[in-house]
Amino acid sequence: MQTQNRHASSFRDPSGYIFTENDTVLRQVNPVYFKQYNSLKNKGFYDKLFKAGLLIPHEEVKADDNGIVIRPENIPFFSYPYEWSFNQYKHAALHTLKLQKYCIQNGYSLKDATAFNITFHKGKPVFVDSLSFDFYTDGEPWRAYRQFLMHFFAPLLLAKYYGNDILKLLMQHIDGIPLDKAAKMLPFKCRFSPVIYTNIYLTAKYDAKYSNSVGAEKERKINISKEAQIKILDSLYNYIKDLELNEKTEWKDYYSITNYDAEAFDYKKDLVRKWYGSVNASKLIDFGGNDGTFSRVLKDLAEEILVTDIDPNAVDQNYLQVLKNKESNILPLVSDLVNPVPGIGLNNAERDSLLDRIKKGNYDMAMALALIHHISLTGNVPFSMSANLFASLTPYLIIEFPDRGDSWVDFLLNSKREFKGHFDGYNITDFEKEYSVYFDIVEKQLIPNTQRTMYLLKRK
């Protein structure tokens, strides 16, 4: 049995596990799952799921009595639920419900519904675990129902009332938000919603009442018809589909209040396109990319673009554009570069840190436009440390430096009040000096009618 390159996250399901071979991700199917796997394969259900875009496609590469090995379609960058915007999270939940309904209608059922079985690929959510399917037994309740509520319904409800940041709770509660906690956190008025009361409050009460072995035995005796289960799935689907986030943030409409004039804006776009093309890059990360305005300048040149931003509403705007324009090579992600997602779970390796995934992704170039003043003056990060960070991630960097005199820089400096003098080192001379330790300056251009300079840097 192949175990030496087993992925650190793949240990919970005895049906099989993920491993890598020559940098290719493969999935082992253990004999205990042969019956289900062969049924899914021979009856053509896997093919139906592939064609419907519900499951990441795979092909079988090896089979013997000890195991079957399948090769899933490559996913360039694997994102996690606590890095999604509200609509990304909502669509991941709807995808899971749609998949379970389709399974039941075809004689199967999802045996787990963790949000970590979904990621974003080619602009849309996709289910990635080919071994999460079991036979549907008539009358048996959906075994993953509670897990769905803990991983999707409860976080989305809490986000509706407390904002997008609540979705990061899954980083702490890797097995989902406990329903009793969710019930206590939700506003009292939620008790009057039949969907919330049934799925959150009653399920939490049921968990508390039957948490012992006697209760578990009673739970197994519950019988719910297929039609009733489909009604529950439809009810959850329709409720989640209409959920909205009532939250305004500073950066959502950033480009409508920027101090650029049209000439400067176009000049900056032209420069980005010219410099990106000059280094023959194919994979780009746009740090602080807001709604992806400047990334889109490169969407017909780049094979893959990862756009990160601290503002979830700006990321949401970007994601909705990705859907509207069917942009399969742009992935928006909620991320704070000064506090990036760490490795979590068993050995801190079950879910990789953001920076580790970026390094493994071998991106050619990063962009940091209108970002360094926030890192330096809001985050208080010295130039030497931000330069070191960028140099550790990609060989090329396009970075924009807003000098003193720029309205945003003046605003940030004035907000320091009596400590403003502590930031005299924020100037273009010191910036070039510190960044030159890690990078060579390939080219620099002053953006017309601004106090901002663009740099194309190459790692030493």
Q: Is residue 289 part of a domain?
A: yes
Domain range for 104: 85-119+132-209+220-242
The residue among 13 and 275 whose pLDDT is bigger is 275
Amino acid symbol at 54: L
pLDDT(298) > 60: yes
pLDDT at residue number 255: 55
Backbone angles phi, psi at 258, to 5 degrees: -70, 160
In this structure, the answer to whether residues 264 and 171 fall within a common structural domain is no
Strands 304-309 and 439-446: unpaired
d(CA 235, CA 150): 17
pTM: 0.93
Question: CB of 133 within 8 A of CB of 108?
Answer: yes
Residue 333 near residue 247, CB atoms below 8 Å: no
Place 249 in a pLDDT band, splitting at 50, 70 and 90.
low
Residue 252: predicted pLDDT: 55
Whether residue 298 is found in the same domain as residue 406: yes
Pair (174, 296) in one structural domain: no
Domain count, the chain: 2
Q: What is the pLDDT of residues 142-172, one digit of tens each?
A: 999 999 999 999 999 999 999 999 999 999 9
- Residues 313, 428, single domain; the answer is yes
Rounded to an integer, what distance in angstroms lies between the CA atom of residue 437 and that of residue 454?
A: 18
Q: Quick one: 376 and 344 in the same domain?
A: yes
Q: Judge contact between 295 and 274, C-beta under 8 A.
A: no
Q: What is the pLDDT of residues 214-233, one digit of tens each?
A: 555 555 577 899 999 999 99
Q: Answer for the pair 266, 327: CB distance below 8 angstroms, yes or no.
A: no
Give rounded-to-5 percent helix, strand, coil for the chain: 45, 20, 35
Picking from 4-8, 179-183, 351-355, which range would have the lowest pLDDT averaged per residue? 4-8
Q: Are residues 96 and 154 in the same domain?
A: yes
Residues 431 and 328 reside in one and the same domain? yes
Average per-residue pLDDT for the chain = 91
| Residue 76 covered by a domain | no
Comparing 326 with 258, the larger pLDDT belongs to 326
Same-domain check for residues 258 and 398? yes
Q: What is the dihedral of CA 373, 377, 380, 382, to 10 degrees?
A: 50
393: CATH: 3.40.50.150
- Residue 201 sits in the same domain as residue 260: no
Say how far residue 394 (Cα) sits from the centre of its chain.
Answer: 20
Q: Tell me the pLDDT tens digit for each residue of 91-134.
A: 999 999 999 999 999 999 999 999 999 999 999 999 999 999 99
